[in-house]
Structures are given as C-alpha cells and as structure tokens.
C-alpha cells in the first residue's frame, strides 16, 4: 500500500483528520511520572492507548528526545513501535542535507526506525530531498510554510511573481514521481493554506498549529482538505498531551482528542 492510500484508509477507518503530536516535554509530565527513567515512554504509551481510535497519525518531534541522548533515541523507537501499524507515523525530524547525508538520514528514519513518513527542509534543493522519496510506501512532508513568527523572514518573501513558499511547492511537485510527497503548512496561515491546496490538490498536507497555537479549525479543515474532505493531517500537541496535569492525563487527552476530531468532522460535513 502506498503512503497516500494508507493515510486515506486510516482517515476513513477512524473517521479522523487528527494527528496527535508527541512533543513530550519531561518537565511537563505529571508529578507521579517525573523522575522515572522511562517517564517519556510511559507517558507516550498512555496517550497512544487512550487516543488510538480517534486519530489518523502520530507525529514524534525528535527535538524532545534527542536532547536525552541514547535513552531519548530508544524512546523514539519504542514509542513508534507502540503505535498500531494501521496508523500513520510521522518523524518530525526536519532533515535535509547534501545527497549522501540525506541518504543516511532516510535510511535511519524510514528503514531502520520504520517510520511511515518524515518532515524534510527543502532549502538545499532537489538532491537533498530525493533520497527520502525512494519508496511509494514512505511519505515526505516538505516544509512549505511554517506557523512561527520567523516564517516571514524567508518563506513569505517575493521571488519574482511568487512568494518563496509558493516557489517551493511549484518546483517540488515535479519531484513527486512516486506520489508520496506532501507539505507542512501552518494552521495560522489560512489564506496561504488555501493557496497551497489549490497548487497541490491531491497531496497530503500536514497542518500544525491548532489547539495551543491558536489556528482556526474551521479554516484549517475547509482549506486544508482535498475535494473529498481528506488528506489534511491536522496536528495538535500540547492541547491534547497536557489536557490535565494530574494522573488523569490519559483520560483528559482522550476527551480533548475526541472533541477536536468531532469538531473537524462537523466542518467536513458542512463543506464536503
């Protein structure tokens, strides 16, 4: 099964566009878990078990694990293994380097660690991205337009008649030979999200920035989905992970994940 078909399948099975971002900050874990050597992993497993029927994907942000050395890497691997095989896994690693370096990154993340997909920075061009596009079963999300303030520094700059992020999308669509390329577009950029979807009507869009970052859910679903109300992967992290600071964190995460899924589906029913 190719990557896009797998995504469509789980979105239909769980009736969900929701991706839970496992940006697990040890400092924010419930007091009962803090101090345990496997606190991140235990927390992640509880979140996954509580939400697995409500999501289409889980996104593991490598930054929250790499800083913990070998144990952090083990946690990434063990967390990914705990995710049901029917659910899309996204390595939020933001890789992208010269060809041989990218080949090594692709092997590590997509083969050895067995993630379904990975986020990649396109700044170094085609030869830095191609090693990740080697298999139709593996998805690649290029950073097109991010939700941070610094996105204005380069991504929104005019390059001739287009803005830089539009040029990234226009040019990189030619690399999508195996139909496994998608884009990261921040939820706080509704107008630009609409632009990207118009330019790339049949590719997956990974959309971070709802929940704690304040992205408008109505616009995200309306403009991020394809014509069938699919292929938008709407990520929420902090609002789900830390819905409660107490020992009821898993139950609270489930309630918030369910609320977000149902809210998205209400928008889908309205527009698709």
CATH number at residue 54: 3.20.20.70
**CA proximity to 105, closest of 69, 94, 24, 184:** 94
Domain membership of residue 245 as a residue range? 3-271
pTM of the model: 0.97
What is the number of structural domains in the chain? 1
Which residue in 241, 237, 214, 232 sits closest to 268, CA to CA?
Answer: 232
Between 95 and 188, residue with greater pLDDT: 95
Q: List, for residues 252-268, the tens digit of each pLDDT value.
A: 999 999 999 999 999 99
Q: Is 94 a catalytic residue?
A: yes
Active-site residue, from 94, 107, 179, 194: 94
Question: 168-194, pLDDT tens digit by residue?
Answer: 999 999 999 999 999 999 988 889 999
Closest CA to 8 of 184, 218, 177, 179: 179
């Amino acid at each position: 099964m190719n990557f896009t078909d797998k995504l469509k399948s789980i979105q239909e099975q769980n009736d969900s566009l929701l991706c839970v971002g496992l940006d697990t900050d040890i400092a924010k874990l419930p007091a009962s878990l803090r101090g345990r050597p496997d606190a991140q992993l235990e927390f992640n497993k509880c979140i996954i078990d509580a939400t697995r029927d409500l999501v289409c994907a889980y996104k593991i942000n490598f930054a929250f694990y790499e800083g913990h050395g070998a144990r952090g890497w083990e946690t990434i691997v063990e967390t990914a293994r705990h995710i049901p095989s029917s659910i899309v896994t996204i390595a939020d690693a933001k890789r992208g380097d010269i060809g041989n370096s990218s080949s090594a990154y692709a092997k590590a993340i997509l083969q050895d660690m067995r993630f379904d997909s990975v986020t990649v920075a396109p700044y170094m061009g085609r030869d830095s991205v191609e090693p990740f596009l080697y298999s139709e079963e593996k998805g690649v999300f290029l950073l097109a337009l991010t939700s941070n303030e610094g996105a204005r520094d380069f991504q929104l700059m005019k390059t001739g008649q287009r803005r830089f992020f539009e040029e990234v999308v226009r040019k990189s669509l030619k690399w999508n030979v195996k139909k496994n390329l998608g884009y990261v577009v921040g939820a706080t950029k509704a107008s630009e999200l609409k632009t990207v979807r118009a330019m790339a009507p049949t590719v997956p869009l990974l959309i971070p920035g709802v929940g704690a970052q304040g992205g408008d859910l109505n616009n995200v679903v309306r403009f991020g989905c394809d014509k069938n109300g699919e292929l938008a992967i709407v990520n929420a992290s902090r609002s789900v992970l830390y819905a409660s600071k107490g020992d009821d964190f898993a139950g609270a995460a489930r309630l918030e994940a369910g609320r977000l899924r149902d809210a998205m589906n209400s928008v889908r029913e309205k527009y698709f």
